[in-house]
A and B are shown apart, each in its own frame.
Chain A
Amino acid sequence: MANMAVSRIKREFKEVMRSEEIVQCSIKIELINDSWTELRGEIAGPPDTPYEGGKFILEIKVPETYPFNPPKVRFITKIWHPNISSVTGAICLDILKDNWAAAMTLRTVLLSLQALLAAAEPDDPQDAVVAYQYKDKYPLFLMTAKHWTNVYAGGPHKFTECDLKIQRLKDMGIDEHDARAVLSKENWDLEKATESLFS
């Protein structure tokens, strides 16, 4: 890897470790390999959002052209959010694309992602299904996002109704995660979910 990328990441790593957000446990970062090309980030779900109480793990890949190009970041923890793919964890955020600037750091990226969790932009979606639900059936979106936060990120809100419907599909031989994804997409309509699974 290019020298500048490595020395930058090393310096940033030290900087982020001393930051206030680390002390408050709102963000975390750790090294994955010795070549400093891959890191793992963690952000806490912001208060007063359906993600509150959850911890979200991120895959961070540093390109050789860093800091002239942005790091490649993806959610490893499954999340229900209009700007994040519920399937792959891919993120739609301007600073990770054309609005990246060489002065931005891993710390600013993590804080921006936290801000994205607090303020979704459904008109610039990464996941069209989630964005549609957000705009059209907001209470259902909130429930689904909290349910996913509970199951995948350790959030506090349990929804027995969701669990029961997932169990019904599991009884039909459907994988739990697939069942959750289909029910979430079909606005928790068990009949429609079954139809889309078996048609």
Chain B
Amino acid sequence: MGNCLKINNSDDISLLQGGEISNTQDFAPDQNDPAPIYSELLQPIFFPSPSVRRPVSHLTEEEQVKIAKRIGLIQHLPIGTYDGSKKSRECVICMIDFCVDEAVRYLPCMHIYHVHCIDDWLMRSLTCPSCMEPVDAALLTSYETT
């Protein structure tokens, strides 16, 4: 009991852009004793599992492999342009309507999302946010059948 709400506490600060922030090299108050808080804030942040966030230097080797594989998988998911189809009018992540010719990513279940919206989500969890279908399992079977 009581273990339920703790995991969210670390997500208070905005880390969405974490992966894109480049390290600010000149912020080093003491070379021999690198302040862990600063380095954590300036490093790219990754999510080995949805509720676990870690700066890149704190990832275990196993987690690094996991994340590298995940990035590889995401890059294999096809990107297309929105054709104005009435079936999916909005990206359910940002809830904004698609524009014709806008870049969208197709998941194996055929749900589509803005590329930046779904990539942010997939870096945390390899499931379709709409139907919960695991993206990696579907991808692996599609590799086998082709």
Point out the residue from B12, B51, B96, B124 that lies within 8 Å of A97, measured CB to CB. B51
- One of A7-15, A111-119, A152-160 contacting the partner: A7-15
A12 and B95 alpha carbons, distance in the complex (Å): 8
What size tier do the contact residues of chain A reach?
Answer: 20 to 34
Is A128 on the interface with B (CB-CB < 8 A)? yes
Contacts of B121 in A (CB 8 A): 68, 102
A102 touches B13 (CB 8 A): no
Render B113-146 as a binary contact track against A, CB cut-off 8 A, 1 for contact.
Answer: 0000100110011010110100000000000000
Point out the residue from B1, B11, B95, B129 that lies within 8 Å of A69, measured CB to CB. B11
Render A72-114 as a binary contact track against B, CB cut-off 8 A, 1 for contact.
Answer: 1010000000000100001111001110111110000000000
A125 and B57 alpha carbons, distance in the complex (Å): 35
Point out the residue from A1, A65, A90, A100 that lies within 8 Å of B5, measured CB to CB. A90
Min CB gap A196→B, angstroms: 19
Min CB gap A128→B, angstroms: 5
A64 touches B50 (CB 8 A): no
A185 and B5 alpha carbons, distance in the complex (Å): 23
Asked, given contacts A63-B8, A64-B12, A64-B13, whether A4 binds B50 with beta carbons under 8 Å apart, the answer is no
Main secondary structure of the interface of B (DSSP, over half): loop
B14 touches A102 (CB 8 A): no
Contacts of B96 in A (CB 8 A): 7, 11
A8 touches B95 (CB 8 A): yes
A85 touches B95 (CB 8 A): no
Contacts of B7 in A (CB 8 A): 97
Contacts of B125 in A (CB 8 A): 101
Q: How many A-B residue contacts, CB cutoff 8 Å?
A: 80
B2 touches A126 (CB 8 A): yes
Point out the residue from A8, A63, A96 that lies within 8 Å of B12, measured CB to CB. A63
Contacts of A74 in B (CB 8 A): 5
Min CB gap A82→B, angstroms: 9
Contacts of A4 in B (CB 8 A): 16, 93-94, 117
A70 touches B8 (CB 8 A): yes
Given contacts A2-B16, A64-B12, 19 further A-B contacts (CB under 8 A): A4-B16, A4-B93, A7-B94, A7-B96, A11-B96, A12-B95, A63-B8, A64-B13, A65-B11, A65-B15, A68-B121, A69-B8, A69-B50, A97-B4, A98-B49, A102-B121, A103-B129, A126-B2, A127-B1
